[in-house]
Amino acid sequence: MADSTLRQYVPLTCHGHSRPVPHISFSPIDQDNSSYYMISACKDGNPMLRDGQTGDWIGTFLGHKGAVWQARLSPDANTAATASADFTAQVWDTHTGELLYILQHDHIVRAIAYPFDNSGMLATGGFEKKLRIFDLQEQKHAASTGSRPSTPNSVVSPIKIESARAFEIGEGAHTQAIKFIVWAMDPNMIITASGDTLRWFDLPTRRCIREAKLDGEIKSCELVSLAPTYSSPSDIGGGLPVLAVAAGKTACFWGGKRAEDELKRITLPHSIASVAIDLKGRKLVVGQEPGTWARVYTWDDAKELDVHKGHHGPIWSIAFSPDGKLYATGSEDGTIKMWKNCEGFYGLWRGGISGGSSTD
């Protein structure tokens, strides 16, 4: 990519949270109308759902009694899952805001993940140092055949699931809190980030089959993917999702259906709190730590392309949209900023370098 093609667009700023935003993520694209959504976790305990292209507020999920550390949308975008310091993970209806499930734990829940293409399963982890799998469909069926209570207004109460009813994976494998969980494209593989160590778990055997000790505490760990209509074999990762991890001064990447194939490690001149990758544009975006800037580097030679200023606190989470045409940053300052990653008209941005609509 030549420097002459670069242009920094004014970011969109999403307000509404009153405390730091530790995690943001996007839904897959709705194939009917090409829309998608963004969800944000916040230490104010009120995760928010937004339009993914414009950042417009859609709704707030109310009910947690502690900080929300992570929030994710299901593959079909019909539900959202949140992990909280109130010792629960909760699952919500994204259309009505109704609380559907309360997954009870014995300590703070820091990490949560859906399978790549299954909205009926959920993995959780946190300060209990246990990786658990909840089968939501099975619990829903059990509740429907039992005596699930209703309120006087005929609103169905959420299904409460004790942690003992989940499947534990890799018993005793974790010695520190689980901060991130990634469900690989292969549904039989789950990766966790705990301390400075990544672990790969084989679900059929429930065993840890691989560990990787990195160059510092893992600050972010996400599976980056493009919607099938936007991905191609020429992308980084060959058109498959890529696991992107920030640890110390190093950004680490794994590919393949099981996220086991190490692609690259890029050591930067500063520590990083978060990382995301532009699979098609062959660049990575990192949140500098300490600092408040997002820095953009080339994938091939780690050349710095840009510096995004505007946040007033560390950037804890970075996520690319499923079409790759924008990315969002979530910060300690309580705001989310959305940065345009394509030419031409897109979302609330108007105009461009050439008026076209191709990605960088």
pLDDT for 137 equals 84
Q: What would the pLDDT profile of 247-260 be if each residue is shown by its tens digit?
A: 999 999 999 999 99
Beta bridge partners of 39: 25, 49
* Exposed e or buried b per residue across 203-222, where buried means at least 16 C-beta atoms within 10 angstroms of its C-beta: beeeebeeebebeebbbbbb
User: Are the C-beta atoms of 80 and 71 separated by less than 8 Å?
Assistant: yes
Degrees to nearest 5, angle at CA 158 with 156 and 164: 145
pLDDT for 349 equals 86
Confidence of residue 139 (pLDDT cuts 50, 70, 90): confident
Phi/psi for 4 (5° steps) reads -65, -15
Average pLDDT for 10-25: 95
Least confident of 21-30, 131-140, 214-223, 226-235: 131-140
Residues 6+ apart with CB under 8 A from 218: 179, 180, 193, 194, 195, 196, 197, 198, 245, 246, 247
Cα separation, 130 vs 134, in Å, equals: 13
Domain boundaries, the chain: 9-340
Residues 6+ apart with CB under 8 A from 103: 88, 89, 90, 91, 109, 122, 124, 134, 161, 163, 166
Instruction: Tell whether the torsion through CA atoms of 309, 339, 231 and 30 is positive or negative.
Output: positive
pLDDT for 138 equals 78
Output 98 or 6, whichever has higher pLDDT: 98
Q: Average pLDDT over the chain, rounded to whole?
A: 91
Predicted TM-score (pTM) of the model is 0.90
Which CATH superfamily is 9-340 part of? YVTN repeat-like/Quinoprotein amine dehydrogenase (2.130.10.10)
Q: What percent of the chain is predicted at pLDDT more than 90?
A: 84
User: Are the C-beta atoms of 68 and 87 separated by less than 8 Å?
Assistant: no
Average pLDDT for 328-333: 97
